[in-house]
Chain A
């Protein structure tokens, strides 16, 4: 069964360092999402891609976060510099189409701890 892959699964870093997360969506899925999930809360959308284009990054803290999906397949989310408040689970999801109701398939996430 096809799955969304994410790496690393766990990342510990010190504040002011740079971190990067990688996501490989299900093959053929044009839409890719990055979510941040703070402990005890629901996921919050950071950025959405349609193929290689960003269609929604309204909640992405652009002073320190960046995301790319250069060839419209896999994607990288970067934080530079990391802050203590960035400690969270970072989830990647993909769907076939960017239409309401199209199921989003989630990866296992990357748990980030900033010391």
Chain B
């Protein structure tokens, strides 16, 4: 079965510093991979997604992610974080089995705090 692991529960980064959030997935074939962001008390917003092709994916708000099949990873990066990036970040994998072709399985999330 598909699964997603986000090993870091909470990360604190100084404003202006670079960021990398880790994500590992378990899936038998080429996965559909997503990164979502959730601000406190809000719903989720899609940052970027990977289906095929170029393994470096550009998203909104200056984020990018790199798909590495050999490591089963899809880490999220940003070269310089802003205080407004403080939020919860979820990695997710698309589940193609069963009746729900568009089902998404989410990781447990990484909470990002920004140090002034």
Q: Which A residues fall within an 8 A CB radius of B? A: 4, 31, 40-45, 48, 55-56, 58, 91, 93, 95, 97-104, 106-109, 111
- Cβ of A109 and Cβ of B104 under 8 Å apart? no
Residues of B within 8 A of A98 (CB): 100-102
Q: Which of B77-116 contact A (CB under 8 A)?
A: 90, 92, 94, 96, 98-104, 106-109
Q: Is the interface of B mostly helix, strand, loop or mixed?
A: loop
The 7 closest A-B CB pairs, nearest first, are: A42-B106, A106-B43, A56-B100, A106-B44, A98-B102, A100-B94, A108-B43
A43 to B45, CA, bound (A): 13
Q: B44, B90, B94: which has the most chain A beta carbons within 10 Å?
A: B44
Residues of B within 8 A of A45 (CB): 100, 103-104
Number of interface residues of B (CB under 8 A): 25
8 A-B contact pairs sorted by A residue (CB < 8 Å): A41-B108, A41-B109, A42-B4, A93-B44, A99-B101, A102-B102, A103-B46, A109-B43
Q: Which partner residue on chain A sits nearest B102 by CB separation?
A: A98
Residues of B within 8 A of A95 (CB): 102
Residues of B within 8 A of A100 (CB): 32, 51, 94, 96, 101-102
Tell me the minimal C-beta distance from A67 to chain B in angstroms: 14
A101 to B31, CA, bound (A): 10
- Cβ of A91 and Cβ of B101 under 8 Å apart? no
B53 at the interface (CB under 8 A from A): no
Q: B4, B42, B51: which has the most chain A beta carbons within 10 Å?
A: B42
- CB contact between B43 and one of A40, A42, A91 (< 8 Å): that residue: A91
Residues of B within 8 A of A41 (CB): 108-109
Residues of A within 8 A of B44 (CB): 43, 91, 93, 106
Q: Which partner residue on chain A sits nearest B90 by CB separation?
A: A42
- Cβ of A48 and Cβ of B49 under 8 Å apart? no
